[in-house]
Every structure is written in structure tokens, then in C-alpha cells.
Amino acid sequence: MNAPHTWRQQAQRYLLEGVQCTACDHRMFPPRAVCTECGAASMRPHRFCGGGEVYSYSFVYHPPAGHEEFAPYPVALVRLDEGPLVAAQLTDVATDDVAIGLRVEMVTRRVREDSADGVIVYGYKFRPAIPPARR
Amino acid sequence: MPSHLMRPVREVGIAGYGAYVPRYRLPASEVGRMWEGSEAALPIREKSVAGLDEDVVTMSIEAGRNAVRRAGIDPSQIGAVWVGSESHPYAVKPTGTIVAEALGVSEYTLAADWQFACKAGTEALQAAIALTGSGMAEYALAIGMDIAQARPGDALEYTAGAGGAAIIMGPAEESIAILEGSVSFVTDTPDFWRRQHERYPQHGSRFTGEPAYFRHVAQAASDVFEALGTSADDYAHVVLHQPNQKFPSRAAAELGFRPEQVARGLLSNDIGNTYAGATMLGLTAILDQAKPGERVLAVSFGSGAGSDAFSFRVTDRVRERQYAAVTTRQYIERRVPIDYATYTRYRRQLAE
Ligand SMILES: [Zn+2]
């Protein structure tokens, strides 16, 4: 992943910004040029709320370059509350607590670091949702 | 004597606030076991430790998101994103721009990092007061956040914690707590420092108590009392910078506060010393349960050395905002104890 490519994806990675079809309101993440539902080609940006649940998961023991220090770590397909499935790392979670249906929320964390003197890449991960406070 | 109280021309207050504390906890007994044996005297019960994928940027983003939720504003209205810390992930490249972009703040904003040991966050807050109080910006975000550094085996290792808070200053009429005035008091005191390229700070142990912490905290607080005609009895709660349990407890008592006025904002037993985050985080714990009309005094301390003291009056709006985001107590209770070996990995000390 080179630096200019990373920089162009920042709205996606920092704000979970996808698109919404202006014809049928279908919401997509990551952004697409053509609606996967109705085929229209007119989109507006849409920021997802960040809530969702684990649809499926796995554990990574042999991570790709830049992710070594986090291993082993869980990755999941998260079903966002607005519909799309997103592949992401889970964080702040014990191995035994990872389960299908787990309520999660988006957080921004260090995603990769190629070297100690290079750029740090930040992006979305998901962690078990902290329930709303009660009085 | 002229008053040293500062007050902006336009009345401002806290429009929103948010906390963040990572979930890992290192019991002080683990540090004692490693270096001094089981008989070690422990300055706190346990301290917070950040996970491997966390740093001052990620922690500031979460606290900032909580502050935006409580303020109920469009983040594009924020005119400054200022982060005070002594553990910014980059030596050169601002934390503020990353946080601003992750919060959805407009590209037309001030963004910078502040440095003044543990006072960096409240220094940013003073600047946010000035920026909003002058009308240059409608809202300004000040963050105090740290992952405190301590050399293995140093006395600081018991307490050097991780966490902090974000405060959005804005117009008084939209505020949770209105600013009554503030004082900043600094001197050149060599109590604690870290040279460029050094990984861990040094401290002159004879300087950390009387001429540093106690002198600056007491001076700034009593200047606020004098200028506003208040005393400890006028405040429902006080939060002082908290490097441990003992210093803020003693300084507060000397200013005339009773233990029950100190308790709610004193978090060091649960999370340690969060450096630039400590005073602001204690303030969020107070605001989470504050009642309209209550007065709150907040006094930071940063080595080098100086204190900022702020007098706030809580408004009717506090009740509708308190539960609009995760509370400070929720973060504190979301705890996962770890042992010294895990701590060493999380602090990336294995490769040294
Ligand atoms: Zn469509």
C-alpha cells in the first residue's frame, strides 16, 4: 500500500464514508460507482453510523507485512446496521468473546506500520459495543 | 493588587466533553513484585495501559467523537483541533490534523499540538477559550491525552497511565458549564524533563513536591478564589492534577476542600497518572454526574512548571448531555487486568 493510495481512501478509513444511491437509497461500503441494487450510476456520500454485528469471523496467526505485532488477531465480516458487510479487524476483545452476532462498533486504530520511521496508517476496526450509559 | 484572572470578551463555556481510557490495567502490585518484592509501598491500586493498536491519535479521536456527540454540533463548525500531550506518535507531524480529519472537521480549521508536560491539555483549553471568546471561532476542541512513559523500574512506572479527555468550548448560551474565569501561573522549575530523542523522562526527585506541584497548584487556585471572591466552600467539586492519590488529596485539603469534594474527580487509584489527560479526565468524571448550579474548580499542573486553574458553573443543559456518550466511569469499569509480561509487550519494551 503506497502513501498516495492510502491518502485517497482516508474518508473511508477514518469516517466509514460510503455511498448512497440517489435512485433507490441503497447504501454501499466501500463506495461504488454503480448501484449493486438498481444499476443507477448516481451516488452521494454516506457516513455509516459505525454500529453493527459480527456476521462471521476468523483468527489470523500468520499476518501480512505491517501487521506482525498484532498477531494473533481476530478478523470479521461485520454487518453494518445500514446493511453492507465490511471486512475488518476486531480489537479490544478476548478470543473467547468473539462470536457470531456480537454487537460491535467502529473505532479508529493503528492499522499498520511499515517501519519505525515510516508513516503510521490509521483506520477502522470494530470492538464490542459499549452499551449506552444509564442514569 | 491587580487580578490575575483571565476572562474572554465573549462569555464561553463547555459545549461538549468526552473521555477515553483504554481497557487494560496493570496493578501496582505487579510493578512492585517485579522490582521491589511484595512489601513495596504502592502509590495507587492500578494504572491504565493502552493496547497495541492505540496511541495518542486514536485515543484523541475517540474522546473527540464523544465530545462532538455531547455537544450535538456538526463537527464542521469546529474552528480548532488542539491536542496537548507528551506522547504524540510523531516527533514532527501534527496529531491535530489526523484527529480533525477523523472527526469530520472542516479543512479550514486550526490544528496543532501543544507541549507542556502534564499541563499541555489545559494550555490547549486556555487557547480554545480565547479563540471562542474572541469570536474567531464558534467552537474549538481542546484535548489532553497521554500514554505516559516510564523507564522500567523507575518510581514513575507504578503510575504512568494512559487516557485523557476532549473539551469543546463554545458560546455560553449553549454550554453545559459556563467559564467564570481562569488563571495561568508558570515558573522555570527543573522538576521533570525529557530531552529530544530520549525515550524516557528524567526527574529531579527533590523538586517534584513543594516547589513544583504544591506551589503552582496552590497559587493558581488561590488567585481564582481571590479574583472571584470564592472559597473552597463555594465549589461542589474540585479536580487537581493527580500524579498519585496523595498529592491532590493534600493540596486540596490545604486549599480548604473536604474529601467528599475531591472524591469524584480523583481517578488516579483506578487509572494512574494520565499526564496531560489527568485534570481534564477528572473534570469529565465530575461533569458526568454534575447538577445544574454547581461550581467546579479544575487545576492542572505541568512540570517545567505551571498550573492552569478554571472556575466553571454548571448549567441546566448538563442533564440532557451527560448520557449522550460513554461516561468516564464506564471506561474505568471496562477493565482487563494484565500482568507485567503483557504490559511489557503492550509498551513495546521487548525489542529494546
Ligand atoms: Zn440504487
Nearest CA in chain A to B93: A119
Kindly report the backbone phi and psi dihedral angles of residue A133, in degrees, each rounded to the nearest multiple of 5, phi listed first: -65, 150
CATH 2.40.50 is right for the domain spanning A49-135: yes
**Pick from B61, B90, B325: which is nearest to A108 by CB?**
B61
CA distance A70 to chain B (A): 7
List the domain boundaries for chain B.
12-176+324-346, 177-320
Q: CA neighbours within 13 Å on the CB side: how many for B171?
A: 8
Residue B226 three-state SS: helix
Nearest to B47 by CA among B67, B27, B70: B27
Amino acid at A79: R
Q: Decide: B168 and B71 in contact? Cβ < 8 Å.
A: yes
Name which of B53, B284, B288, B323 to mutate to probe chain A: the one with the most chain A Cβ atoms within 10 A of its Cβ. B53
CA distance A124 to chain B (A): 10
What's the CA gap between B307 and B28, in Å, rounded? Answer: 27
pLDDT for residue A1: 43
Is B177-320 in the same CATH topology as B12-176+324-346?
yes
Cell numbers of A96, please?
A: 473467547
Beta strand A17-21 pairing with A43-47: antiparallel
- Helix B278-287, helix B120-133: angle, nearest 10: 60
pLDDT for residue B135: 97
What's the CA gap between B318 and B291, in Å, rounded? Answer: 7
What's the CA gap between B275 and B47, in Å, rounded? Answer: 12
Residue with cell 487509572: B271
| CATH code linked to domain B12-176+324-346 | 3.40.47.10
A54 strand-pairing partners: A78
Query: Does the structure show a pLDDT above 90 at A4?
Result: no
Query: What is the per-residue DSSP string for A87-109?
Result: EEEB-S--GGG--TT-EEEEEEE
Tell me, in angstroms, the distance from the centre of ligand 1 to residue A70's CA: 38
| CATH code linked to domain B177-320 | 3.40.47.10
Tell me the helix, strand and coil percentages in chain A, rounded to 5. 15, 40, 45
CA distance B176 to chain A (A): 17
List pLDDT tens digits, range B222-264: 999 999 999 999 999 999 999 999 999 999 999 999 999 999 9
Give percent of chain B above pLDDT 90.
Answer: 86
B86 is catalytic: yes
pLDDT for residue B59: 98
Non-local (6+) Cβ contacts of A120 within 8 A are A110, A113, B55, B57, B89, B90
Whether pTM > 0.80 for this model: the answer is yes
List the domain boundaries for chain A.
16-47, 49-135
pLDDT for residue B191: 80
Kindly report the backbone phi and psi dihedral angles of residue B276, in degrees, each rounded to the nearest multiple of 5, phi listed first: -65, -15
What's the CA gap between B342 and B349, in Å, rounded? Answer: 10
List pLDDT tens digits, range B69-84: 999 999 999 999 999 9
Residue B232 has a CB neighbour count (10 Å cut-off) of 17
Query: Does the structure show a pLDDT above 90 at A124?
Result: yes
Indicate the DSSP class of residue B53: T
What's the CA gap between A121 and A132, in Å, rounded? Answer: 29
pLDDT for residue B351: 60
Q: Decide: B194 and B202 in contact? Cβ < 8 Å.
A: yes
